[in-house]
């Protein structure tokens, strides 16, 4: 990567870029892109390489081939934010070199629901939403010529999200953003759609792009089904032809025996016939292979929803006991005298960043202790997924793990469940550790839903974060059909409305 004199017309230049995963899987081949002071959104399903492309531009990842030229130092706000430094050192480094007095930093922090700067330096830690606010405020104050944002709306409360939308809508410099949130994507008119079959550029409003892609997807699905039907019919026809040929061959042998044809002549005829049939068979097999390849290539580019019912476990009758029983618990600076009793209720936990949503879930799972009160949880009946599936960093693939969840689980059954839950088969064969946070959380949910003996209550922290459109719809469908209870922490009220909740607890 090189940094040269910046111009408004040429801020970033990518030439013949090749990018592979650590495992050697090709993500991009011969990618070319140039942009100036423009704002562009990268869209596409999970796992196609959007994050890797941003990291390559920011030099966090090395390209396998090609060239990336940035004419100004890019600033990247990654999807996963963490720091091994103490909070005070992290904040000081984040805002190093800025004239905080001139920038009126305390007013800026108050605008997004954060305490004054000096108070931040005394904090013992930050929630993911608070940390994201700090990083976003940092790049806003620094005003880089090229800003790279990976799922910037993730983890933000309503105040933070509205603030993000307000300044993104007025950004005049170079910007590349990854998002699946229609509210953010509605601010853009330039889109790069990334898929396994390549990258395509669109200059339109997001609602028009959605309609265009839905229509295109419908046409592709119809074409895909036609190809499958043609292939099935061709194979049925080939079986009939082969059967008739075998019958004729058998009859011919009987006639030859009856006419007592000399053996030399019979072998000559048979040899010629076998050669001719071999040529015909070779041509037929080549045609079938070509159709199969075409179908396979088309299938990779499709989000085909197969007509299979979502199969969820049948839970045992309730025995009257509580699955989760919190009695008058308190945590200093967050909440006090909170009581939560759950059998199979559907509960949403909402609140601003730093209000203690994740802390409450960790108390439920007895990962941390409450300052006061009592906690009783039937751990064998509860399944837990932390933010981004961070407690599911398994070296096994989803397929391998599912095969050990039940004695009745077979490879065929695993494939049926993956299709029913609309989980990409290619991702299911990769290590769960290597999946994106959204993919990993979704894979963990599938495991919990089919685990035997089954769990009766799900404890989920921001489960919809980082999911593409298809995955988000599949997640909503799964949780809406779930017959057990759940405790879900999040900010997306539209998501809670879609899955249905019995009670909302605001912290």
pLDDT higher at 44 or 6: 44
At residue 143, the pLDDT reads 92
Q: SS3 of 29, please?
A: strand
**Which pLDDT score is estimated for 263?**
58
Q: Please, which contacts does 392-396 make with residues 24 or more away whose CB atoms are closer than 8 Å?
A: 392/432, 392/440, 392/441, 392/443, 392/444, 392/447, 393/432, 393/433, 393/440, 394/431, 394/432, 394/433, 395/431, 395/432, 395/433, 396/431, 396/432
Q: How far is CA 489 from CA 323, 384, 386, 387, 436, in A?
A: 17, 12, 10, 10, 20
Q: What is the pLDDT of residues 380-418, one digit of tens each?
A: 888 899 988 888 898 888 888 888 887 777 877 787 788
Rounded to whole angstroms, how far apart are CA atoms 357 and 338?
12
pLDDT of residue 268: 58
What tokens appear for 152 in the block? Answer: 């910037």
Q: Say what the pLDDT of residue 2 is.
A: 44
Length of the chain counted residue by residue: 507
Alpha-carbon gap, residue 211 to 213, rounded angstroms: 6
Helices and strands in the chain: count of H runs, count of E runs: 16, 18
The residues that bridge with 347 in the sheet, in sequence order, are 487, 503
Quick check: 465 pLDDT over 70? yes
Min mean pLDDT across 217-231, 236-250, 343-357, 453-467 is at: 217-231
pLDDT tens, residue by residue, 285-329:
665 555 455 445 444 443 434 333 455 667 777 777 888 888 899
Average pLDDT of every residue of the chain = 80
Strands 190-195 and 174-178: unpaired
State yes or no: pLDDT of 4 exceeds 70: no
Q: What is the DSSP string of 447-498?
A: HHHH-SSPPSEEEEESTTTT--HHHHHHHHHHHHH--SEEEEE-S-HHHHHH
Question: Is residue 128 within a helix (H) or strand (E), and if so which, with residue range?
Answer: helix 128-142
* pLDDT value, residue 484: 86
pLDDT of residue 258: 57
Distance of CA 376 to the CA centre of its chain: 34
3-state class (DSSP) for residue 201 = strand
Alpha helices in 59-157 (DSSP H): 87-94, 105-111, 117-120, 128-142
Amino acid 305: pLDDT: 40
- The first and second tokens of residue 36, run together, are 């100036």
Furthest C-alpha separation in the chain: 110
């Amino acid at each position: 990567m090189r940094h040269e004199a910046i111009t408004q017309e040429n801020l970033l230049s990518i030439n013949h870029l090749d990018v592979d995963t650590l495992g050697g899987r090709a993500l991009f081949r011969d990618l070319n892109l140039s942009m100036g002071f423009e704002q562009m959104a990268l869209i596409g399903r999970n796992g196609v390489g959007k994050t890797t492309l941003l990291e390559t531009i920011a030099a966090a990842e090395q390209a396998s081939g090609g060239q990336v030229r940035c004419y100004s130092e890019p600033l990247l706000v990654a999807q996963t934010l963490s720091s091994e430094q103490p909070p005070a050192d992290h904040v000081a480094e984040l805002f190093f070199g800025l004239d905080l007095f001139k920038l009126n930093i305390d007013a800026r922090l108050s605008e997004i629901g954060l305490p004054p700067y000096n108070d931040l330096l005394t904090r013992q830690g930050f929630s993911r939403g608070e940390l994201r606010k700090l990083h976003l405020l940092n790049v806003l104050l620094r005003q880089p010529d090229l800003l790279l944002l990976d799922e910037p709306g993730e983890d933000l409360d309503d105040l933070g999200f509205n603030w993000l939308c307000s300044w993104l809508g007025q950004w005049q410099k170079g910007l590349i953003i990854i998002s699946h949130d229609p509210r953010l994507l509605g601010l853009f008119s330039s889109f790069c759609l990334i898929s396994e079959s390549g990258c395509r550029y669109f200059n339109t409003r997001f609602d028009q792009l959605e309609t265009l892609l839905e229509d295109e997807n419908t046409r592709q699905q119809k074409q895909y089904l036609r190809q499958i039907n043609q292939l099935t019919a061709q194979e049925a026809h080939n079986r009939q032809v082969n059967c008739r040929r075998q019958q004729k061959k058998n009859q011919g042998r009987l006639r030859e025996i009856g006419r007592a044809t000399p053996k030399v002549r019979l072998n000559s005829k048979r040899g010629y016939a076998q050669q001719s049939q071999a040529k015909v068979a070779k041509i037929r097999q080549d045609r079938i292979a070509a159709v199969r390849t075409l179908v396979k290539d088309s299938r990779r580019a499709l989000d085909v929803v197969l007509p299979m019912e979502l199969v969820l476990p049948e839970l045992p009758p309730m025995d009257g006991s509580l699955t989760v029983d919190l009695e008058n618990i308190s945590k200093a600076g967050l909440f006090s005298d909170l009581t939560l009793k759950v059998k199979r209720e559907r509960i949403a936990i909402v609140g601003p960043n730093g209000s203690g949503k994740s802390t409450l879930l960790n108390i439920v799972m007895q990962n941390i202790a409450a300052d006061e009160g009592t906690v009783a949880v039937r751990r064998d009946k509860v399944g837990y997924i932390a933010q981004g599936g961070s407690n599911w960093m398994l070296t096994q693939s989803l397929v391998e793990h599912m095969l050990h969840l039940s004695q009745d689980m077979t490879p065929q059954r695993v494939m049926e469940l993956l299709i029913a839950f609309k989980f990409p088969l290619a991702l299911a064969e990769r290590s769960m550790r290597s999946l994106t946070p959204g993919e990993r959380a979704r894979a963990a949910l599938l495991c919990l839903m089919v685990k035997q003996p089954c769990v009766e209550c799900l404890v989920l922290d921001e489960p919809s974060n980082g999911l593409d459109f298809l995955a988000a719809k599949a997640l909503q469908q799964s949780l809406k059909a779930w017959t057990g209870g759940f405790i879900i922490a999040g900010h997306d009220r539209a998501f809670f409305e879609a899955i249905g909740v019995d009670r909302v607890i605001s912290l």
